[in-house]
């Protein structure tokens, strides 16, 4: 049964993000980071357990996000915590709030506010702790924010997205990490100007640094979007089982899904749900390769039926 879940395929597109050998050291680094944040003495047990699980679960056709979910669930159990990133999430939001006024001015002065708001949201996606490819210290984003903005978008499908938005009624925005969720407000505001019915999705349960409803309290999201929905369960990216219920029906009923971050790509790329516009920093080669993009760029990439990953 577990193997069936890991290998589930439902009209998986050619660009699905399957597990790569590079995912293994990435996950181990993340587990070690979590242990050091909570209780360094449990690091050996947590890493040993993760290594054993990865030895059993690794396969060429399994979903990397599903494996990561199982590894982190067991790691949290060993560490005796439900939210090992809580202090980092709080600090990330603080940094996001410090950067927000300058980012807002940047968008207001732009010739294309929607594209610029997408860029600001993508730059926030560099925050990713413990993987060796993101920014482990929220303060680093504050120091390098303008430099990252100056890179612009290495891949930009904003015009294609804009054409979809002109006839869209329902848009779903899948949030990702704390810190960047603050900068997502800029993109959400620009989307609401287009008079769409806008739903923001946050996590039901804490996992990694992903924003939950508790984490966005006080950010005023309820004054920007029409609905705030919690993605069910404990999952890196999206729990594929949840797509069989009301949450999946909501996603399939959207005219456009805008998904932040690599984990949402890792999970949704295993499905036939489209169109999806991914706003992310390509922080690792497996994701970059699956998206047919260079590594370490700011990207706004649209996947829709009939186009694939162009």
| Separation of alpha carbons 303 and 12, rounded Å | 13
What are the residue ranges spanned by the domains of the chain? Answer: 2-79, 86-303
Per residue, what are the HEC states of the chain? CHHHHHCCCCCCCCCCCECCCCHHHHHHHHHHHHHHHHCHHHHHHHHHHHHHHHHHHCCCCCEHHHHHHHHHHHHHHHHCCCCCCHHHHHHHHHHHHHHHHHHHHHHHCCCCHHHHHHHHHHHHCCECCCCCCCECCHHHHHHHHHHHHHCCCCEECHHHHHHHHHHCCEEEEECCECCHHHHHHHHHHHHHCCCCEEEEEEECCCCCCECECCCCCCCCHHHCCCEEEEECCCCCCCCHHHHHCHHHHHHHCCCEEEEECHHHHHHHCCCCCCCEEEEEECCCHHHHHHHCCCCCCEEEEEECCCCCCC
Per-residue pLDDT of the chain (310 residues; tens, 9 = 90+): 333 333 333 343 445 667 888 889 989 999 999 999 999 999 999 999 999 999 999 877 888 899 999 999 999 999 999 999 999 999 999 999 999 999 999 999 999 999 999 999 999 888 766 555 556 677 778 888 899 999 999 999 999 999 999 999 999 999 999 999 999 999 999 999 999 999 999 999 999 999 999 999 999 999 999 999 999 999 999 999 999 999 999 999 999 999 999 999 999 998 999 999 999 999 989 999 999 999 999 999 999 975 444 3
Report the pLDDT value the prediction gives residue 239, as an integer from 0 to 100: 95
Question: What is the phi/psi pair of residue 127, to 5°?
Answer: -70, 115
Q: Which CATH class is domain 86-303?
A: alpha beta
Question: Structure tokens of 214?
Answer: 């508790």
Residue 172 and residue 199 in contact, taking contact as beta carbons nearer than 8 Å: yes
- Give CATH for domain 2-79: 1.10.8
Report the pLDDT value the prediction gives residue 7, as an integer from 0 to 100: 37
């Amino acid at each position: 049964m577990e193997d069936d879940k890991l290998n589930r395929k439902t009209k998986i597109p050619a660009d699905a993000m399957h597990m790569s050998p590079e995912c293994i050291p990435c996950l181990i680094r993340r587990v070690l980071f979590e242990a050091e944040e909570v209780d360094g003495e449990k690091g050996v047990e947590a890493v040993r357990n993760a290594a054993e699980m990865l030895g059993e679960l690794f396969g060429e056709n399994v979903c990397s996000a599903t494996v990561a979910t199982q590894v982190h669930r067991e790691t949290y159990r060993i560490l005796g915590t439900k939210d090992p990133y809580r202090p980092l999430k709080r600090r990330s939001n603080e940094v996001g709030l410090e950067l927000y006024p300058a980012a807002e001015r940047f968008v207001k002065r732009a010739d294309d506010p929607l594209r610029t708001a997408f860029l600001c949201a993508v730059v926030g996606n560099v925050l990713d702790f413990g993987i060796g490819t993101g920014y482990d210290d929220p303060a680093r984003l504050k120091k390098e924010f303008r430099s990252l903005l100056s890179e612009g978008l290495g891949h930009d499908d904003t015009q294609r997205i804009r054409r979809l938005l002109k006839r869209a009624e329902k848009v779903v925005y899948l949030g990702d990490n704390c810190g960047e969720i603050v900068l997502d407000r800029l993109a959400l505001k620009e989307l609401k100007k287009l008079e769409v019915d806008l739903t923001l999705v946050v996590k039901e349960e804490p996992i990694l640094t992903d924003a939950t409803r508790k984490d966005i309290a006080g950010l005023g999201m309820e004054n920007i979007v029409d609905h705030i929905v919690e993605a069910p369960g404990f999952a890196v990216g999206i729990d594929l089982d949840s797509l069989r219920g009301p949450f999946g029906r909501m996603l399939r009923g959207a005219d456009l899904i805008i998904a932040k971050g690599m984990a949402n790509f890792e999970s949704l790329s295993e499905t036939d749900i489209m169109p999806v516009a991914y706003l992310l920093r390509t922080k690792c080669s497996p994701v970059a390769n699956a998206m047919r993009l260079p590594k370490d760029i700011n990207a706004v990439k649209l996947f829709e039926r009939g186009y694939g990953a162009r």
